[in-house]
Amino acid sequence: MTFHLANVAESKLVSEYGSPLYVYQLDAVVAALADLRDALPAEAALYYSLKANPHPQIAATLREGDCHAEISSEGELAAARAAGFPGADCLYTGPAKSAEEIAAALDAGVTLFSVESSADYRRVARAAASAGKLARCLIRVSGSASGAAGLRMTGVSSQFGVDARELLAEPERFADVEGAQVVGAHFFPVSNVADEECLFGEVAGSIATAARLRRETGLRLKQLDLGGGFAAPYAKPGARPRYPTLRRRLEKVLDAHLPGWRDGSPLIAFESGRHLVGGCGTLICSVADIKQRADRTFVLLDTGIHHLGGLSGLGRMLPDAAPVPVAESGEQTSTVTLAGPLCTPADVLSRSTRLAGLTPGDLLAFPNLGAYGLTASLIAFLSRPAPAEIVFRGEEPISASRLRITRETIR
Ligand SMILES: Cc1ncc(COP(=O)(O)O)c(C=O)c1O
């Protein structure tokens, strides 16, 4: 199912809320959640990763669909709380957590933390001990075992997690301490994997690694978070990939390695951001100017890398976005460069979009921008206002709001 704004008059929205603006369709979130649940074992818990989009109504829709929240900052904690998630429903992740944010999370009732090193584990333990609490910790593991023998490390080294070989060699670094105990493992080796075979291989490798760690180190495995990697198209037309055989194949691997999982021992969990919410968002913008140069045509928009695709953190310096015209011109398309209004040559959204017959004032719609859109972009750069964000349920607009960055005085 696709959720274009077929019956929503883009130009009416623009005249009411200004251009550019984001539109989110909650029905698309509900549909994506149902499809992902179908692709995963029924017994598994599912965490919504608020980094994909912390909008409270999007997060609340996933809470109503029985998701938990995967959060990674005090801001995401606040967004999760605003969406109605109790602290006890949140998993707090991240590779370099500060003592202050851990204390704030504990104070909000968070008890489950992904720890990414023994120093991170001790920091969580110290904060919990001084608050008189016990933190339950999942060790984030950064390798996977392929088959029964040997460890296959997932590609290049990264700043994330604890190397599986280190864990096998020195499990005592994660022994119970005052304030914390390890209750399981957390994997997130890949992201945005559309190929089912490849995704299955990664998750199966994580299951094998977790089983091996339990067998060889006595790792307590009450919960196993297998991460995700479920893909979604970004800023261009396209459908969410489906994983029709994943559930059945994962159940077999879990039965083989972790009998007991069907009764919650261990509790299996997955995480998803982009796959759940990518398809719900559309960015509508206007053509501000068109410049014919000798070698190419520049289409200047009123939106740019401050509203979408400022994803340097995800290795997406050039989003290569492909908007669709809100009104078809019928003319033959040609390749254009899409540039934004910022005073930097980096403000380019695509060098290869094919469009036709545009004139200043025309509206364009970037589909599939419900994840890693506005809040993953350079929103403060050049101090322009954020676009309005309009949330729809069915045909009904249910909220309109705008993010604002303000300066506060520190005593
Ligand atoms: C630990 C962790 N969980 C979840 C996610 C969400 O990923 P996605 O939006 O691709 O599902 C990420 C993304 O970087 C991550 O690092």
Strand ranges inside 296-347, DSSP E:
297-301, 324-325, 334-339
Q: For residue 389, what are its two tokens?
A: 């964000």
Placement of tokens 């960055």 in the chain: 405
* Residue range 187-230, pLDDT digits in tens: 999 999 999 999 999 999 999 999 999 999 999 999 999 999 99
The candidate with the shortest Cα–Cα distance to 341, out of 310, 311, 290, 305, is 305
* Residue range 343-383, pLDDT digits in tens: 998 899 998 889 888 999 999 999 999 999 999 999 999 99
Please tell me what DSSP assigns to residue 169: H
- pLDDT of 286 > 90? The answer is yes
Mutate to test the pocket of ligand 1, among 40, 51, 138, 160 (most ligand atoms within 8 A of CB): 51
Q: Would you say how long the chain is, in residues?
A: 411
CA atoms within 13 A on the CB side of 32: 33
Instruction: Kindly give the pairing relationship between strand 363-366 and strand 281-292.
Output: antiparallel
* Omega before residue 20 within 30° of 0, cis: yes
Mutate to test the pocket of ligand 1, among 97, 116, 191 (most ligand atoms within 8 A of CB): 191
- 18 CA from centroid of ligand 1 (Å): 32
* Residue range 136-159, pLDDT digits in tens: 999 999 965 444 334 444 556 788
The candidate with the shortest Cα–Cα distance to 135, out of 173, 96, 182, is 182
In ligand 1, which atom is closest to the CA atom of 228?
11
Report the distance separating Cα 322 and Cα 236, nearest Å: 5
Contact 14, 302 (CB under 8 A): no
* Residue range 26-60, pLDDT digits in tens: 999 999 999 999 999 999 999 999 999 999 999 99
- 191 CA from centroid of ligand 1 (Å): 7
Contact 411, 27 (CB under 8 A): no
The stretch 294-322 carries a mean pLDDT of: 77
Report the distance separating Cα 301 and Cα 240, nearest Å: 27
Which pLDDT score, from 0 to 100, does residue 346 have? 87
310 — pLDDT class (breaks 50, 70, 90): low
String of DSSP letters for 113-162: EEE-SHHHHHHHHHHHHHTT--EEEEEEE--EE-SSSSEE--SS--SSSB
Q: Which domains does the chain have, with CATH numbers?
A: 40-272 (3.20.20.10), 279-402 (2.40.37.10)
Q: For residue 238, what are its two tokens?
A: 């396209």
Angle at alpha carbon of residue 49, lines to 47 and 50, rounded to 5°: 130
Query: What pTM value is reported for the model?
Result: 0.93
Pocket lined around ligand 1, Cβ cut-off 6 Å: 49, 52, 70, 93, 188, 191-192, 227-228, 230, 271-275, 371
Percent residues over pLDDT 70 in the chain: 91
Placement of tokens 């989110």 in the chain: 24
| Distant-in-sequence, close-in-space partners of 364: CB < 8 Å, separation ≥ 6 | 284, 285, 286, 287, 301, 323, 324, 325, 326, 355, 358
